[in-house]
Each structure stands twice: as structure tokens, then as C-alpha cells.
């Protein structure tokens, strides 16, 4: 294998970007390109990524090294930059020669291998900075990559993005999911309906407060799960009712404000736990966690904020009064005009939003009438993957660390 036919450790194609220099420094290889880009690569990582040379399988493009096999016998015996700018390493102890695509190495130098690459970074918003929901053409989203990418990227950036003009037939959600990824099934079904006229408040036949005519305060769905669903999609099929506007507030911005303006409440909401559970015939879902779950560094913010399914404080008795005070402050902030956007749901509207970031709700209905929303959940992984694929295809790099 030589020159520009070098295989990469994945199935992507990379521009050929010749390496200008390579030097061994102890356990590391320092690579540089003519425009000043640099990459410091550790030897075992290069050995693991030797395609077709015992590191990465050519057929699956997956790694072959069990970490137990990475021992001190493995070392660089010889290294050179080839005539086309590729990296060539001869490995001890087996004498295998590996060739590395310089464009693939360059994408690591540019940070395009990171989980944050090819998708926009989240940008917190308030009602002042984003007075309208970002809106895209629902009639084109299935066929037009630019529309699909614009809608997905706004969902990832702002946590919420609307399609207007979608078909109102029952199957559109499935078709849209087909472009994104697997639907997250729950005890409400993979595809579920919110019909405000089928069960009025107090009707024992419904399994969710959403199916009543009550106001729904700002909340996130299914905090009863260890990992609540990532994105929620609500499409309006019919709406003849008055009022009942959909409300959205950016939990990321509310959390930032709480941290800055009410640090004692922020501390309480990020540490004190509550038990959430879905009660129903044949189901018993429970999870205990704080309302603001920051997770490990870099993981998504998860807000557990749905009072209809919040069961019990899971904390010391002396902490309970301040837990209630903090929760009340948080909900008032989320429901204030500073953060909340209220929009009507028109037939053909579909709103996609980050269920673990955006606090959604519904104003009370002012007059009766048929209102039918059809919903589904799709996890973060699927939405990010779909966005990376379409952004790569369109050449939209968004937020690589060096850009
Ligand atoms: Fe909800």
C-alpha cells in the first residue's frame, strides 16, 4: 500500500493533507503540517490504529488490540514521512510496517474526531435573545438535506426547532424518524397521541396529565428513567381549541440564572434528590436524582422537572424545606416572561426539542375543540449522529475546537 490509496481506520474519506515533518520524542510522535498544525501522538495509539497491520481490521475498521496485549515490547523501530506526505512506521517486535493517511491524522489534529465535532455547540437563550422559535420548512425536510440539516442544527444549538407545513397524515413522524434514527419506545408507546378532548381533568381513563385540559407547567418528560428520552417531537395534526399555547423555556439559561442569582437554590437543586415514578397498571418505573443533574463533565444537562410524577424527597428531613424553596424558585423562573416563549400549535407544525434541556409546558385551554398532537422520542445519540452525517455531507463543520 502506498501513496494516496492508504486506508483509514474508518469508512470516511479525508482530503489528502501531506505531513511536513515527523519526529520521535520518547513515547510520542510529533507531527506537523506546512500551515503550522501539529499533533502529538502516543505510540500505543498509533499502533492500535495501524490499518491492515494488526491494529485495525480492514473489513470492519474496528480495533483489534486487547489492551492486555499492549506491552513494552511494542515500540517504534523506524519512522519516516513517505514521498506523498504519508506517515510510515515499522513496529517492533514484529517488524510490521504501517502506513497512516495524513488527512486522517490531520482531522485528529483539528479536533474533528471529538464528540463535539460536526455539530453546533449549545447556545443558551432567553425570550429576549430568541423571541421566536427557529422555524424550517416541514414540506421539504424529508427530501432536502439543507432543510434537514438546518432544522437538526437549530435543535442542537437552541434545544428547540420547529417545522412548519408538515403533512398532517398519521405516518409523517415515522418517515421523519427514518431520516434520524431509532425511536425511543416507552410505556406510552413508540408513537403516542396527546388528545385534549378525549379526557377532561379528573377523568380516570387517561394515563397522563397531558391528556387533560389542565395547564401544564414547565417540565421535562419521563424523569422517572435513569436516562430520560433525549429529544421529543410533537406534531400538530388538528387544533380547534382556543388557548392551550405551547410554552418553551431554555433550561440551560434558567440554570445559568439560578446559579448566578440564587446560588443557595442552585446548590440545593444540584445535590438534593427526589424519587420520580410512573405509576400505572403493569409498570413501576422509578429513578432518584436531583432536579438539575449535571452528570459527569461534558455530558448533557438533564433536568428532572415534572411534578405530576415527582413522588418523594430522597434526602435528609432537615433538607426538605430548602429543597421545596429551591424548586419553587426554579419553576417561577422557568415560567416567567424572561425565559418562556408561548406559541400556538398550528396543524402541520412539528416542534422538536431537547427533552433533557428544554422546559416545555402548555397554557390552559380557553375554549373547547378537538386538539390532536402526535409525539415520539428519539435519543440524543441518534439526533447527533444524523446531524454529523448530513453536516459532513454538506461540508458544515460547525464547532471544531480549532475553528
Ligand atoms: Fe410533556
What pLDDT is attached to residue 195? 85
CA of 351 to the centre of ligand 1 (A): 12
| Nearest residue to 79 (alpha-carbon basis) of 21, 8, 13, 157 | 21
User: Which CATH entry fits the domain spanning 135-394: 3.40.1440.10, 3.30.530.20, 3.40.50.2020, 3.60.130.10?
Assistant: 3.60.130.10
Helix (H) or strand (E) holding 23: strand 21-25
10 Å CB burial of residue 231 (0-12, 13-18, 19+) is buried
CA of 232 to the centre of ligand 1 (A): 9
CA of 195 to the centre of ligand 1 (A): 13
CA of 210 to the centre of ligand 1 (A): 7
Among 164-168, 212-216, 239-243, which stretch is predicted with the lowest mean pLDDT? Answer: 212-216
CA of 216 to the centre of ligand 1 (A): 8
* pLDDT tens-place string over residues 341-380: 999 999 999 999 999 999 999 988 888 888 899 999 999 9
CA of 66 to the centre of ligand 1 (A): 44
CA of 43 to the centre of ligand 1 (A): 50
CA of 93 to the centre of ligand 1 (A): 59
Q: How confident is the model at residue 209 (pLDDT cuts 50, 70, 90)?
A: low
CA of 378 to the centre of ligand 1 (A): 14
CA of 46 to the centre of ligand 1 (A): 47
CA of 123 to the centre of ligand 1 (A): 22
What pLDDT is attached to residue 199? 44
What pLDDT is attached to residue 241? 86
Provide the terminal-to-terminal Cα distance of the chain, rounded to the nearest Å: 33
10 Å CB burial of residue 272 (0-12, 13-18, 19+) is buried
User: Could you tell me which residue, 295 or 13, shows the higher pLDDT?
Assistant: 13
CA of 52 to the centre of ligand 1 (A): 50
CA of 358 to the centre of ligand 1 (A): 10
CA of 297 to the centre of ligand 1 (A): 27
Q: Show me where the domains of the chain are located.
A: 3-109, 135-394
What pLDDT is attached to residue 169? 87
Q: What pTM value is reported for the model?
A: 0.88
Residues 34, 21: Cα–Cα separation, whole Å: 8
CA of 17 to the centre of ligand 1 (A): 48
Q: Say if residue 403's pLDDT is above 80.
A: no
Stretch 107-122: mean pLDDT? 93
Stretch 11-32: mean pLDDT? 95
CA of 209 to the centre of ligand 1 (A): 9
* pLDDT tens-place string over residues 35-49: 999 999 999 999 999
Q: Say if residue 200's pLDDT is above 90.
A: no
What pLDDT is attached to residue 1? 45
Helix (H) or strand (E) holding 236: strand 231-239
CATH class of 3-109: alpha beta
- The CB-based long-range contact list for 139-148 (8 Å cut-off, 24+ gap) reads 139/165, 139/166, 139/167, 141/166, 141/176, 141/179, 142/175, 142/176, 142/179, 145/390, 145/393, 145/394, 146/394, 148/179, 148/390
Mean pLDDT of the chain: 91
* pLDDT tens-place string over residues 238-260: 999 888 899 999 999 999 999 99
Q: How confident is the model at residue 170 (pLDDT cuts 50, 70, 90)?
A: confident
* pLDDT tens-place string over residues 319-338: 999 999 999 999 999 999 99
CA of 117 to the centre of ligand 1 (A): 30
CA of 119 to the centre of ligand 1 (A): 26
To 10 degrees, what angle do helices 320-334 and 251-261 make? 130
The neighbourhood of ligand 1, an ion, using CB within 5 A, equals 221
Q: Say if residue 398's pLDDT is above 80.
A: no
Which residues are CB-contacts of 369 (< 8 A; sequence separation ≥ 6)? 197, 239, 240, 241, 242
CA of 362 to the centre of ligand 1 (A): 9
What pLDDT is attached to residue 213? 73
What pLDDT is attached to residue 226? 93
User: pLDDT exceeding 90 applies to what percent of the chain?
Assistant: 80
Residues 9, 85: Cα–Cα separation, whole Å: 18
What pLDDT is attached to residue 202? 46
CA of 337 to the centre of ligand 1 (A): 20
H-assigned helices in 159-289 = 172-180, 251-261, 263-271
φ, ψ for residue 293, nearest 5 deg: -100, 105
* pLDDT tens-place string over residues 269-317: 999 999 999 888 899 999 999 999 987 665 668 999 988 889 899 999 9
User: pLDDT exceeding 70 applies to what percent of the chain?
Assistant: 92
Amino acid at each position: 500500500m502506498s501513496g494516496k490509496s492508504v486506508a483509514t481506520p474508518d469508512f470516511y474519506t479525508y482530503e489528502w493533507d501531506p505531513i511536513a515533518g515527523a519526529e520521535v520524542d520518547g513515547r510520542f510522535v510529533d507531527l506537523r503540517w506546512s500551515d503550522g498544525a501539529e499533533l502529538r501522538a502516543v505510540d500505543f495509539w498509533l499502533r492500535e490504529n495501524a490499518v491492515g497491520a494488526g491494529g485495525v481490521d480492514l473489513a470492519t475498521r474496528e480495533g483489534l488490540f486487547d489492551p492486555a496485549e499492549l506491552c513494552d515490547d511494542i515500540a517504534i523501530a523506524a519512522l519516516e514521512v513517505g514521498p506523498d506526505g504519508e506517515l510510515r512506521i515499522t513496529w517492533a517486535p514484529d517488524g510490521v510496517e504501517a502506513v497512516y493517511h495524513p488527512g486522517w491524522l490531520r482531522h485528529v489534529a483539528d479536533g474533528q474526531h471529538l464528540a463535539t465535532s460536526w455539530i453546533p455547540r449549545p447556545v443558551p437563550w432567553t425570550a429576549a435573545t430568541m423571541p421566536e422559535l427557529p422555524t424550517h420548512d416541514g414540506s421539504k425536510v424529508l427530501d432536502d438535506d439543507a432543510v434537514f440539516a438546518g432544522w437538526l442544527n437549530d435543535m442542537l444549538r437552541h434545544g428547540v426547532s420547529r417545522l412548519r407545513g408538515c403533512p398532517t397524515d398519521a405516518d409523517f413522524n415515522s418517515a421523519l424518524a427514518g431520516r434520524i434514527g431509532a425511536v425511543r419506545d416507552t410505556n406510552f408507546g413508540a408513537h403516542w397521541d396527546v388528545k385534549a378532548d378525549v379526557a377532561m381533568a379528573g377523568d380516570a381513563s387517561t394515563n397522563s396529565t397531558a391528556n387533560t385540559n389542565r395547564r401544564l407547567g414547565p417540565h421535562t418528560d419521563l424523569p422517572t428513567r435513569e436516562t430520560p428520552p433525549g429529544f421529543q417531537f410533537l406534531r400538530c395534526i388538528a387544533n380547534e381549541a382556543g388557548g392551550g399555547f405551547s410554552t418553551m423555556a431554555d433550561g440551560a439559561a434558567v440554570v445559568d440564572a439560578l446559579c448566578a442569582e440564587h446560588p443557595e437554590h442552585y446548590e440545593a437543586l444540584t445535590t438534593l434528590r427526589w424519587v420520580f415514578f410512573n405509576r400505572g397498571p403493569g409498570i413501576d418505573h422509578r429513578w432518584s436524582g436531583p432536579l438539575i443533574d449535571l452528570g459527569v463533565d461534558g455530558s448533557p444537562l438533564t433536568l428532572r422537572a415534572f411534578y405530576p410524577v415527582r413522588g418523594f424527597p430522597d434526602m435528609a428531613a432537615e433538607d426538605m424545606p430548602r429543597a421545596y424553596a429551591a424548586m419553587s424558585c426554579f419553576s417561577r423562573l422557568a415560567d416567567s416572561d424572561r425565559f418562556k416563549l408561548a406559541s400556538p400549535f398550528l396543524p402541520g407544525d412539528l416542534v422538536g426539542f431537547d427533552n433533557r434541556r428544554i422546559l416545555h409546558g402548555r397554557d390552559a385551554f380557553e375554549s373547547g375543540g378537538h386538539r390532536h398532537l402526535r409525539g415520539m422520542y428519539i435519543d440524543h445519540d441518534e439526533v447527533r449522529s444524523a446531524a454529523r452525517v448530513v453536516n459532513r455531507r454538506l461540508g458544515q463543520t460547525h464547532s471544531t475546537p480549532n475553528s
